[in-house]
Copies of this chain bind each other. A is one copy, B any other.
């Protein structure tokens, strides 16, 4: 069986994702579509609007055959680590192709850029060192070094978020010695950061904004989503109480920061360079999550990196824990959902597979402690009467669908 891999968040699954899925099938002619999906918290440091089980259901309803979870310690990270974890999982799962959406749309340019980067790695590192010595901060030094190398040759606009991710995916597939062939599909109509819905393909950001503002499903939103996504979103809101937005977590985050010492905050992943003091002082005046973010934001920090930091504070994920998880060679395969095709595929690779795979977080799942804590944090805004049932999903068998 030939498998094609996708790296997704489906927050929520919309018409743009459907296009991506259809094109991936067509272009690769794969027998099985494998999606690596972020869990309840996402790469840009946000709670997913609905939980990973519901989003996995959306995926298999629409033609994905196997959904595996990208663990938190790779999912809620900058693009390079995110790509590293996701591509490593796809490699473990023996997929032959990886198809990603990008603003740019030409795979040759991504490959060329990634190759150049490897070719000039020494020069690149020398540049980084040079800029650091000039007193520039590390991420900026990286960016300047990157530009120094790709200057004049840069066919791709790396300020576009899907181009950046795509570039990192391609870098990782090259590192995996060509076992995975990368493909890209040009994103159509809407841009990632678009705030407003204007057509049947809208960005996930604009769809979430609408859902948050309207507090319910509307015709305008329905137009951008497959029917089953509409049904699952509506079901979630009606049966579990609410969709998840950062604002709902504000009282929990606020209390946490206002009752922690700077030393304790500094133990949290991504809390560094003295931001623990700024966190505390801005908390004292903050009246909402949005307000807090605006008070906290400086040129020094991107919005996304601050959101990731807040995610780690909320889930109480420490530097020590992340370091130890990233250092571990075990990257367990956690199956969230599968069709019978997906199940057949899993069976077919089972013998060759190195990593263990898990159908729930029951012991001996190696990330159990972290997974449980993250799940607790995510569901913490729902009605306490429903929380036990929601948390318990982590201990149930994967969602199955017979085609």
Contact = CB atoms under 8 A, between A and B. Distances in A.
Of the four ranges (under 10, 10 to 19, 20 to 34, 35 or more), the interface on chain A belongs to 20 to 34
A388 interface: yes
Contacts of A286: 384
Contact of A284 (B252, B284, B388): B388
A177 interface: no
A376 B259 contact: yes
A186 B287 CA distance: 48
A255 B377 contact: yes
Contact of A380 (B251, B315, B381): B251
Given A251-B251, A251-B252, A252-B252, A384 B259 contact: no
Which of A250, A258, A286, A288 is packed against the most chain B CB atoms within 10 Å?
A: A258
Interface string A246-271: 00001110111011110010000000
Contact of A314 (B259, B261, B377): B259
Contacts of A376: 255, 258-259, 284
A261 B321 CA distance: 12
Nearest to A377: B259
Contacts of A324: none
Nearest to A285: B388
A152 B305 CA distance: 70
Nearest to A316: B259
Of listed A255, A288, A315, residue having the most chain B CB within 10 A = A255
A254 to B, nearest CB: 7
Contact of A254 (B254, B264, B285, B380): B380
A10 to B, nearest CB: 25
Given A251-B251, A251-B252, A252-B251, A258 B388 contact: no
Nearest to A259: B316
A388 to B, nearest CB: 6
A254 B315 CA distance: 13
Contacts of A255: 252, 255-256, 376-377, 380
4 smallest beta-carbon distances between A and B, as pairs:
A258-B376, A259-B316, A287-B384, A252-B255
Interface of A: 250-252, 254-256, 258-261, 264, 284-288, 314-316, 369, 373, 376-377, 380-381, 384-385, 388, 391
29 contacts: A251-B251, A251-B252, A251-B380, A251-B381, A251-B384, A252-B252, A252-B255, A254-B380, A255-B255, A255-B256, A255-B377, A256-B256, A258-B373, A258-B376, A258-B377, A258-B380, A259-B315, A259-B316, A259-B373, A259-B380, A260-B316, A261-B369, A261-B373, A264-B316, A284-B376, A284-B388, A284-B391, A287-B384, A287-B385
Given A252-B252, A259-B377, A264-B316, 8 more contacts: A251-B384, A252-B255, A255-B380, A259-B315, A259-B373, A259-B376, A285-B388, A288-B384
